[in-house]
Structure 1
Amino acid sequence: MAKLDSNTVIAAFTIDQTARLTGVSKRQLGTWDRDQFFVPSIIYGGDRRTYSRLYSFRDLLSLKVLNQLRNETRITLSHLKEVKGDLAHLGDDMWVKSTLYVLGKRVVIRGDDETLQEAGSGQAVLQIPLRVVVGTLREQVQAMNKRDSDDIGKFDRHRGVANNQVVIAGTRIPVRSVKAFHDAGYSVEDIKREYPTLTEADIAAAIKYDAAA
C-alpha cells in the first residue's frame, strides 16, 4: 500500500473505473478492501473516501484474474489469498510469460520455460495466459481514455477528482505531476512514455501552467 505525496506520479483508477475494467463489482471491491483481502495500492490522506483510494494498473491486472478465479471458476477465498500474493510479486516480464492453470479448485502459475502435465484424473485444466490479460486490459484502458479533441491542451478541476487537483482535461492526470517530471529533467518524449494518453500540446501547456506548481 502506498501513501502518496504531491510529487508521486502513477497511473490510477477510481473504484468505478476499476469495476468497469475488471468485472469485479463495486460492492465486492469495497468488501475486499474492508476485509483487507485486496486493498487499493494508492491511498491519498489515509482516509476511506472513495476518491482518495485508487487502484494501479498492476492492481487491475490482479483483479481481472481474481474476478475470473473467484466469480467464474469459484475458487475459494482462502486459496485466492495465496494466489493474490503470487500475482502481486510477479515482475512485469513474468506477467507476459506466465500462464495460470486451474485444476479442480487449485491454481498453479508456470512460466514459459516450465511445463505442467495434467494428472490422470480426467479433469480439464483451465489455462489463463497472463499476456492475454495484459493485452486485453491495455486495450480497455485505451478505449476508456479516448479523449475529445476539444480537451487537448486544456485543464479541469472537479470535486473528488485527483484529490481536487488541477488535471489535464479529459484525464485524471494532475498538471503538477507533469511539471514534476519536467522539473526532474524528463523530456516531452519521456513524459509521453509515462502518460501515453497525453499529447505534446498537453505536456507543453502543463509545463507553462504556473498556477499548478
Structure 2
Amino acid sequence: MAYEPRIASALSGATRGQLAYWRRQKLLVPEVSATRPVLYSFRDLIALRTFVYLREERPLQTIRRALDKLREIGETDHLSRYRLVAQGRRSIALVQDAGDGAVDLVEKPGQQLTVIKLGDMLRAFPLGEIEIPSLAHPRRRISVNPSVRRGYPVVAGTRVAFDLVAGLVRDGVPPEAVKEYYPGVTAAAARDAASFADYVDQAPERTAA
C-alpha cells in the first residue's frame, strides 16, 4: 500500500512542507519511495501521526534527540513499532511493552518513568484549531483499511474510493443519487466522502519544521 503526500498529509496531520522537510532531514524517510513519486506506507502514517502529536508539545530538536537515543540503545525497527509520549516538561519517553511504564529518552536517558500521558495515534486528536481525524475512519462512513484497496480511503463497507464519490458530488450529482452509480454508497456516505475530500484539499498549511 502507498500514499502520495497529499493523502499522507491529510491522514497524518503533517503539512506537505513538513513531510518534505522531514525527508530532507532524514527524520522520517518514506519506506515505499523517497523520490518522485514520493510514496508513504501505512506504517509511515502511524509514525507521522506520532511526529505531529509530539511536535505540538516538543521542539524538533528534542524529537531528534529521542530518535537518536532509540538508535543508540539498539532500537532500529520502523518508528511505527514504538509508542513515544511527551513526558514531564521537556522529555520524550518510550512506552514499554507492558504499557505501565516508560524509559526516558531525552533528559535522563534510560531512567524508568511512570506514564502520565499517552496519545493514541490511531484516534482523532486536536492540532491547533483543527482536529486530525481517526486514521481508521477519517469520516464516520469513510474507512482506511490496509486490507482493502491497499489502504486507500474508501466508503466504509465497499471498495469504492472516496474521491470517486466526491467527484460525483462536486460535479453536481445529489448525494441521494450517487447510489445510481455505486449501489453500495448511501447519501450519508456520499456526503462524508465529499467532506473528507474538502478536508484533503483545504487542510491548512502550518510551519514546515
Provide TM-score, normalisation by structure 2.
Answer: 0.47
Identify which of structures 1 and 2 has the higher relative contact order when contacts are C-alpha pairs closer than 8 Å and 6+ apart: 2
